[in-house]
């Protein structure tokens, strides 16, 4: 990631000035030991729960455990996973969700933040409001949507509002076309608070004279957003976009709770849900590991492209 | 930096980094068999949860009584939730080897239990001496827990699907309570009348999510005489006239008559919630669903009755059945296995005791008289005892189940790879129940292709 | 207050002033409806009877409030235990992250031992790996730790330790430490202070805001996580709030589930309202500038 590499200083060398000769070397050795002593806890955790599982995941994806005996099976798990009829549907759904969430969940908080940043009154109140849903346990928020908002009959909150406004009602989670938008709405409602606050912080750092200058140049409201606000918050926007995409690609709890898993006619099946199905319902942890590796490759390819694009702009 | 200080830092980091191993050790349960006093301790799961108050009280009373009778045995009960083999947790316990010594499993779990390498071959232990009613246990049921001639589990319950119906709603709709529908066209008529009598009620309700849709599709298919897989288990066999009939019936009720309610994508708890609230006229299920409706969902058991599963022209040609049992963990001592068997024999397999203690259950808010758990073979000694006791203490009219009990339909088991296939069939069910323009042929064809693909990839 | 997108002057005069107040009014109303509305619906919905809930159009106030749903939820859900677990896991995650990640970031930023950059690189490489990708092998690891062969299932360490492997926090902390002038450090070392002492009495006091941010992130992560605790905490006694409600919902009437959701949300919302000033300022000032 561009941000990361840009801020890691390239300099190396001992911290304290040390006398020359043998003492220096000994000193250096001791400093190294101290340094690694400070590192060891985190390194162990990374090793146990990140680096080792990565290798293990790849190994597992080429094995199969039956009757407590593990054997090498080559590409069998991959073949089984890719030929799983839900495989492509799950990817399609996941990308669709990610895209929709990007439009709604990424753009909306940015404009909400811009709006909130302009107000001189009720600032604290509005901020608390936006952040409030973040404090609900995710399952709580989703059951609220499932039982009350997305009721397919006219008793549901959303349908009641639509009826009141004389608009056509929807069956929400029971309609294959509305499943995804409905999940994105719920997900955005319960998650956007964090992004709004981060944008607000970024907006407050934009020097006021930039707007002043732009206005003197005759730039209207949109032009000012386009030429001042967005370039000034570009880094944060890029970072959050990345984080959001990685997060939404892991879509899981929304389909699990809102759609009871796969949703109507597989319209909610996500890749993460498929991993869960294979690993924990279908007695196929090896297949689930293979699917995890595939997901890793897709995300790696994606971040390579993303890095390429974002460094090009620099 | 001086050496002692350096040591301090390193020690701190090491403690922080590695210290967990010591603490973690202590979190591992230590319930190894015999203690100094010569007592044998076993852990057993599937203890009822607090919400099932009476069942829990009964269980605890059984444990107490059993320990009184067997002072050298200590039973530690573990509750694992309302559904004893909730898949992710069950998988976790198996994979992690954290199952209890004697652990609950559903009949279709045998393969997974064996794959995990956690189950003990109990063939040498199980006989008439360890479980006195063993010879009366239905042989078909024993077969379910047997693999390669070896017995891995003791069956404790058996069920088959029937038509569960709400008598109060039947009466309200002017239907004959004692003469429930025997065919799907009759079900459709009845559903129509029930929904007409009260618009908020689904005359007939059905699952379509969380793998339960596929499960019920299978049951409905069996009632038509169809099968999910071909004889050799290598091909899908449901894209047939029988399969089409299943979906067509549902489609007609859902969109032709609007007698299935607007709320779909139901799974187990959703449907039973609605049923307990008096919003469901009929659904298919085992007799014990009425138990769940009463004990978990606060329904009234007086409302419910169970009839044999309907078929298209007469009663069903077959009905889905299944069973539950207890497995034994692989590293148990001989004494622990024997203690476990003794407990199961006492609590699950003795007429008049434990789950068959109908005298105790009668005054509780808990239906007695259900034709269940059908553990013992027809005509066996234990079966006769159990039946007489049940009849004598019934608090639900036994007539409600008379038809179900006398018209024993042929029981058909679940297909292999059941959960994966059910996940695919969910989609056909949700299609027909949520899309008025759904094409039954297309839905079946898609599902067939998917199942064939799955079977081809899996073998 | 510095100038923002629209100048103050513009908002104080005639049309601008009217527009400002109109917009403010609309936004305050809309946001209240959007963010409090559903919560109101949740609280009152759980007071309605099944019949009333099925009524069309839905009623705005419960006609005859029933508290049975709340009572059922409270008695059957064992919420105090769930809350205790969640808070316990969150607190432990904060402690472990603060100690181990701060130490690591300090080493990488100031002590810079050999291979420090390689280790940092290997850590940052995991930034792009979402939890879902590793869920199965991580789960296998927790079931049986390599070499030690210990199962961490149902142990809080199954949540605490993986949380330490958080490259984002290390990155945040390291960047902050990087911004602390080298001279301060050198001066301390010249005075003979040990690295630990320097960290403790010089760096940490300066880093309070960033430590606050890391803590908030840790708490939120534990609070929001679902699949991981669902998998590694299979017992009823060790569940988190979110997983507890999910498990509870499988066999419970809808209204009771919603009542349980309300009860589960109450403590955190209260905690949030009490500490909102600190949380907000922590999140908005401490981190992620530019």
* Whether the predicted pLDDT of B203 surpasses 60: yes
Cβ–Cβ below 8 Å for A41 and B17: yes
* Whether the predicted pLDDT of B67 surpasses 90: yes
**Nearest residue in B to A256, CA atom:** B210
pLDDT, residue C115, reads 86
> Residue ranges per domain, chain B?
40-160+322-404, 162-320+409-458
What's the whole-number mean pLDDT along residues B348-354?
89
Select from A32, A48, A209 the residue whose CB has the most chain C CBs within 10 Å, as the one to mutate to test that interface: A48
Average model confidence (pLDDT) for chain B? 85
Q: CB under 8 Å to C121, separation ≥6 — which residues?
A: none
Q: How confident is the model at residue B347 (pLDDT cuts 50, 70, 90)?
A: very high
- Over residues C187-200, the pLDDT tens digits come to 777 777 788 888 88
> Rounded distance, CA A276 to CA C132, Å?
9
How much of chain B exceeds pLDDT 90, in percent?
44
* Whether the predicted pLDDT of C183 surpasses 50: yes
* Whether the predicted pLDDT of B302 surpasses 60: yes
Select from C95, C161, C253, C259 the residue whose CB has the most chain B CBs within 10 Å, as the one to mutate to test that interface: C253
Q: Who has greater pLDDT, C146 or A289? A: A289
The residues in B 116-175 lying below 8 A from C, measured between CB atoms, are none
A70 φ/ψ angles, rounded to the nearest 5 degrees = -105, 130
Residue A98: C-alpha distances to residues A113, A180, A183, A257, A295 (Å): 21, 10, 11, 18, 14
Residues C30 and C101 in one domain: no
> Rounded distance, CA A156 to CA A146, Å?
9
pLDDT, residue A313, reads 57
* Whether the predicted pLDDT of B20 surpasses 70: no
Lowest model confidence (mean pLDDT) among B33-37, B109-113, B417-421: B33-37
**Nearest residue in B to A28, CA atom:** B1
**Nearest residue in C to B269, CA atom:** C251
pLDDT, residue B413, reads 84
Here the tokens at position B328 are 């034994």
Instruction: Please tell me the distance in Å from A243's CA to the nearest CA on chain B.
Output: 28
pLDDT, residue A208, reads 85
Q: Is residue C130 part of a domain?
A: yes
* Whether the predicted pLDDT of A146 surpasses 50: yes
Q: How confident is the model at residue B33 (pLDDT cuts 50, 70, 90)?
A: low
* Whether the predicted pLDDT of B14 surpasses 50: no
Residue range B40-160+322-404, CATH number: 3.40.190.10
Q: Which residue has the tokens 């978990």?
A: B296
pLDDT, residue A105, reads 80
What's the whole-number mean pLDDT along residues B408-416?
84
**Nearest residue in A to C121, CA atom:** A5
Q: Which residue has the tokens 């202590």?
A: B26
Domain boundary among C72, C95, C111: C72
- Over residues B377-391, the pLDDT tens digits come to 888 888 888 888 888
Cβ–Cβ below 8 Å for C261 and A143: yes
What's the whole-number mean pLDDT along residues C5-23?
80
Average model confidence (pLDDT) for chain A? 84
Out of A29-38, B84-93, B324-333, give the one with best mean pLDDT: B324-333
Domain boundary among C17, C47, C72: C72
Instruction: Please tell me the distance in Å from A82's CA to the nearest CA on chain B.
Output: 9
**Nearest residue in C to B82, CA atom:** C251
> Which chain C positions have a beta carbon within 8 Å of A31's beta carbon?
111, 113
> Which chain A positions have a beta carbon within 8 Å of C170's beta carbon?
42
Cβ–Cβ below 8 Å for A211 and C264: no
pLDDT, residue B238, reads 96
pLDDT, residue C285, reads 59
* Whether the predicted pLDDT of B2 surpasses 70: no
According to DSSP H, which parts of chain A are helical? 2-7, 22-46, 52-60, 76-83, 86-101, 107-118, 123-131, 138-144, 157-164, 179-204, 208-216, 221-224, 230-232, 234-248, 253-258, 271-280, 285-312
pLDDT, residue C2, reads 65
Please, is C267 exposed, middle or buried when counting C-beta atoms within 10 Å of its C-beta (0-12, 13-18, 19+)? middle
pLDDT, residue B104, reads 93
* Whether the predicted pLDDT of C148 surpasses 90: no
> Rounded distance, CA B230 to CA B416, Å?
11
What's the whole-number mean pLDDT along residues B280-288?
92
Q: Is residue C108 part of a domain?
A: yes
The residues in A 62-91 lying below 8 A from B, measured between CB atoms, are 65-69, 79-80, 83-86
- Check if B17 contacts C (Cβ < 8 Å): yes
Cβ–Cβ below 8 Å for C133 and A194: no
- Over residues C36-49, the pLDDT tens digits come to 888 888 888 888 87
- Over residues A35-93, the pLDDT tens digits come to 888 889 999 999 999 999 999 999 999 998 887 788 899 998 999 889 887 899 999 99
The number of domains in chain C is 2
According to DSSP H, which parts of B349-409 are helical? 358-361, 381-393, 399-406
Instruction: Please tell me the distance in Å from C193's CA to the nearest CA on chain B.
Output: 8
> Which chain B positions have a beta carbon within 8 Å of C194's beta carbon?
1-2, 5-6, 9
Question: CB-CB: which of C103, C142, C232 is closest to B13?
Answer: C103
Cβ–Cβ below 8 Å for A48 and C135: no
Q: Who has greater pLDDT, C147 or B310? A: B310
DSSP 8-state secondary structure symbol assigned to residue B207: -
In 3D, which of C238, C206, C243 has the Cα closest to residue C223? C243
* Whether the predicted pLDDT of A14 surpasses 70: no
Fold match, B40-160+322-404 / B162-320+409-458: yes
What's the whole-number mean pLDDT along residues C109-136?
86
Out of B68-77, B405-414, C168-177, C274-283, give the one with best mean pLDDT: B68-77
pLDDT, residue A16, reads 45
- Over residues C94-113, the pLDDT tens digits come to 999 999 999 999 899 888 88
Q: How confident is the model at residue B211 (pLDDT cuts 50, 70, 90)?
A: confident
DSSP 8-state secondary structure symbol assigned to residue B150: E
What CATH number does the domain containing C209 carry?
Answer: 1.10.3720.10
pLDDT, residue A103, reads 85
Residues C244 and C111 in one domain: yes
Domain containing residue C225: 78-250
Select from C2, C4, C55 the residue whose CB has the most chain A CBs within 10 Å, as the one to mutate to test that interface: C4
> Residue ranges per domain, chain A?
17-74, 80-312
Q: How confident is the model at residue B37 (pLDDT cuts 50, 70, 90)?
A: low
- Check if C143 contacts A (Cβ < 8 Å): no
- Over residues B182-193, the pLDDT tens digits come to 999 999 999 999
Q: CB under 8 Å to C138, separation ≥6 — which residues?
A: A49, A53, C131, C162
Out of A144-148, A259-263, B216-220, C172-176, give the one with best mean pLDDT: B216-220
According to DSSP H, which parts of B258-415 are helical? 268-276, 289-295, 334-348, 358-361, 381-393, 399-406
pLDDT, residue C113, reads 86
Identify the CATH assignment for B162-320+409-458 out of 2.60.120.10, 3.10.310.30, 3.20.20.70, 3.40.190.10: 3.40.190.10
pLDDT, residue B25, reads 37
Q: What separation, in Å, do the N-terminal and C-terminal C-alpha atoms of chain B show?
A: 64
Residues C145 and C41 in one domain: no
pLDDT, residue B8, reads 45
**Nearest residue in A to C3, CA atom:** A208
Residues C244 and C174 in one domain: yes
Report the residue count for chain B: 459
Cβ count near B170 (within 10 Å):
24
- Check if C32 contacts A (Cβ < 8 Å): yes
Residue B165: C-alpha distances to residues A153, A257, B318, B400, B411 (Å): 24, 28, 19, 10, 21
The residues in C 34-73 lying below 8 A from A, measured between CB atoms, are 34-36, 38-39, 41-42, 45, 53-58
> Rounded distance, CA A75 to CA A62, Å?
6
Residue range A80-312, CATH number: 1.10.3720.10
How high is the ipTM of this complex?
A: 0.85
B61 φ/ψ angles, rounded to the nearest 5 degrees = -65, -40
The number of CA neighbours under 13 Å toward the Cβ of B79 is 17
E strands of chain C, at which residues?
A: none
pLDDT, residue B34, reads 54
Residues C150 and C185 in one domain: yes
Question: CB-CB: which of A132, A206, A224 is closest to C269?
Answer: A132
Here the tokens at position A77 are 């798990």
Residues B47 and C72 sit within 8 Å (Cβ to Cβ): no
pLDDT, residue B458, reads 65
**Nearest residue in A to C261, CA atom:** A140
What's the whole-number mean pLDDT along residues B143-164?
90
pLDDT, residue A22, reads 62
Q: Which residue has the tokens 């370039």?
A: A231
Residue B395, preceding peptide bond in cis (omega within 30° of 0): no
> Rounded distance, CA B28 to CA B35, Å?
17
**Nearest residue in C to B267, CA atom:** C250
- Check if B116 contacts A (Cβ < 8 Å): yes
Q: How confident is the model at residue B81 (pLDDT cuts 50, 70, 90)?
A: confident
Residues C106 and C242 in one domain: yes
Q: Is residue C27 part of a domain?
A: yes
Residues C27 and C141 in one domain: no
> Rounded distance, CA A261 to CA A253, Å?
9
pLDDT, residue A293, reads 94
- Over residues A182-212, the pLDDT tens digits come to 999 999 998 888 888 888 888 888 888 888 8
According to DSSP H, which parts of B136-211 are helical? 139-144, 167-172, 184-197
């Amino acid at each position: 990631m561009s941000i990361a590499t840009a801020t890691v200083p390239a300099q190396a060398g001992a911290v304290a000035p040390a006398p020359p000769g043998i003492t220096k070397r000994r000193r250096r050795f001791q400093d190294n030991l101290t340094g690694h002593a400070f590192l060891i806890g985190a390194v162990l955790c990374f090793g146990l729960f990140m680096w080792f599982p990565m290798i293990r995941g790849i190994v597992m994806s080429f094995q199969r455990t039956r009757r407590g005996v593990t054997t090498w099976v080559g590409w069998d798990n991959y073949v089984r996973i890719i030929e799983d009829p839900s495989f492509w549907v799950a990817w399609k759904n996941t990308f669709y969700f990610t895209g929709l969430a990007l439009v709604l969940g990424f753009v909306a908080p940015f404009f909400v933040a811009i709006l909130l940043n302009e107000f001189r009154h009720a600032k604290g109140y509005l901020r608390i409001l936006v952040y409030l849903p973040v404090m609900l346990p995710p399952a709580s928020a989703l059951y609220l949507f499932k039982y009350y908002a997305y009721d397919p009959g006219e008793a549901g909150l959303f349908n009641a509002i639509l009826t009141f406004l004389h608009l056509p009602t929807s069956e929400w989670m029971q309609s294959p076309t509305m499943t995804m938008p409905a999940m994105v709405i719920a997900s955005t409602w319960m998650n956007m608070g964090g992004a709004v606050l981060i944008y607000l912080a970024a907006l407050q750092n934009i020097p006021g004279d930039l707007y002043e200058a732009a206005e003197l140049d005759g730039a209207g409201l949109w032009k000012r957003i386009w030429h001042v606000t967005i370039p000034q918050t570009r880094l944060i926007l890029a970072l959050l976009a990345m984080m959001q995409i990685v997060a939404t690609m892991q879509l899981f709890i929304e389909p699990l709770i809102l759609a009871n898993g796969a949703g109507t006619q597989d319209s909610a099946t996500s890749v993460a849900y498929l991993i869960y199905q294979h690993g924990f319902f279908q007695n196929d942890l090896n297949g689930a590991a293979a699917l995890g590796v595939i997901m890793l490759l897709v995300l790696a390819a994606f971040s390579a492209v993303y890095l390429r694009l974002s460094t090009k702009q620099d | 930096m001086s050496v002692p200080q350096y040591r301090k830092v390193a020690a701190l980091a090491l403690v922080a980094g590695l210290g967990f191993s010591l603490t973690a050790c202590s979190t591992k349960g230590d319930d190894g068999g015999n203690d100094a006093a010569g007592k044998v301790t076993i852990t057993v799961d599937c203890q009822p949860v607090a919400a099932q108050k009476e069942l829990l009280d009964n269980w605890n009373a059984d444990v107490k009584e059993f320990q009184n009778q067997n002072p050298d045995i200590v039973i530690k009960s573990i509750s694992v939730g309302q559904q004893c083999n909730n898949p992710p947790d069950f998988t976790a316990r198996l994979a992690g080897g954290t199952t209890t010594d004697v652990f609950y499993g559903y009949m279709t779990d045998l393969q997974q239990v064996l794959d995990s390498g956690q189950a003990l071959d109990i063939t040498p232990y199980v006989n008439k001496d360890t479980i006195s009613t063993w010879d009366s246990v239905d042989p078909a049921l024993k077969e379910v827990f047997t693999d390669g001639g070896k017995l891995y589990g003791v069956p404790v319950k058996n069920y088959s699907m029937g038509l569960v119906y709400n008598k109060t709603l039947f009466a309200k709709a002017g239907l004959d309570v004692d003469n429930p529908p025997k065919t799907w066209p009759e079900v459709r008529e009845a559903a129509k009348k029930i929904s007409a009598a009260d618009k908020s009620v689904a005359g007939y309700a059905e699952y379509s999510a969380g793998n339960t849709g596929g499960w019920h599709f299978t049951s409905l298919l069996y009632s038509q005489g169809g099968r999910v897989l071909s004889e050799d288990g290598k091909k899908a066999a449901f894209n047939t006239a029988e399969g089409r009939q299943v979906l067509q019936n549902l489609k007609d009720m859902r969109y032709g008559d609007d007698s299935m309610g607007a709320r779909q994508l139901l799974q187990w708890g959703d449907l039973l919630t609605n049923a307990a609230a008096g919003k469901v006229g009929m659904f298919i299920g085992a007799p014990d669903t009425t138990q769940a409706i009463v004990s978990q969902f606060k329904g009234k058991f007086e409302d419910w009755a169970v009839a044999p599963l309907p078929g298209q022209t007469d009663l069903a040609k077959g009905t889905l059945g299944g069973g539950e049992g207890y497995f034994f963990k692989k590293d148990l001592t001989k004494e622990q296995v024997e203690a476990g068997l003794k407990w199961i024999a006492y609590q699950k397999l003795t007429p008049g005791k434990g789950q068959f203690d109908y005298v105790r259950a009668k005054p509780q808010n808990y239906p007695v008289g259900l034709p269940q758990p059908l553990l013992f073979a027809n005509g066996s000694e234990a079966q006769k005892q159990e039946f007489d006791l049940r009849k004598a203490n019934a608090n639900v009219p036994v007539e409600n189940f008379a038809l179900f009990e006398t018209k024993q339909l042929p029981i058909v088991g679940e297909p292999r790879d059941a959960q994966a296939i059910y996940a695919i069939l969910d989609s056909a069910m949700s299609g027909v129940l949520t899309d008025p323009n759904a094409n039954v042929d297309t839905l079946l064809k898609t599902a067939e292709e998917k199942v064939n693909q799955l079977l081809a990839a899996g073998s | 207050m510095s100038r923002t997108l629209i100048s103050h002057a513009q908002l104080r005069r005639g049309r601008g002033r009217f527009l400002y107040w109109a917009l403010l009014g609309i936004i305050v109303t809309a946001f209240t409806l959007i963010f409090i509305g559903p919560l109101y619906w949740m609280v009152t919905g759980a007071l309605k009877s099944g019949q009333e809930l099925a009524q069309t159009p839905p009623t705005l106030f419960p006609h005859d409030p029933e508290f049975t749903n709340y009572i059922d939820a409270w008695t059957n859900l064992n919420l105090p235990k769930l809350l205790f677990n969640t808070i316990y896991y969150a607190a432990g995650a904060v402690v472990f992250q603060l100690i181990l990640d701060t130490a690591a970031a300090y080493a990488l930023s100031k002590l810079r031992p050999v291979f420090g950059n390689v280790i940092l690189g290997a850590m940052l490489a995991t930034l792009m790996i979402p939890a879902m990708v590793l869920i199965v092998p991580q789960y296998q690891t927790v079931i049986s730790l390599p070499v030690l062969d210990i199962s961490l299932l149902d142990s809080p360490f199954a949540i605490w330790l993986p949380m330490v492997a958080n490259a984002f926090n290390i990155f945040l902390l390291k960047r902050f430490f990087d911004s602390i002038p080298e001279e301060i450090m050198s001066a301390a070392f010249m005075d003979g202070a040990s690295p630990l002492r320097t960290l403790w009495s010089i760096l940490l006091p300066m880093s309070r805001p960033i430590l606050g941010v890391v803590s908030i992130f840790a708490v939120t992560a534990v609070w929001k996580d679902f699949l991981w605790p669902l998998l590694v905490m299979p017992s009823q006694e060790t569940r988190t709030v979110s997983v507890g409600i999910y498990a509870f919902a499988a066999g419970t009437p809808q209204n009771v589930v919603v009542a349980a959701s309300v009860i589960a949300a109450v403590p955190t919302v209260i905690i949030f309202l009490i500490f909102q000033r600190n949380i907000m300022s922590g999140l908005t000032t401490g981190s992620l500038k530019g």
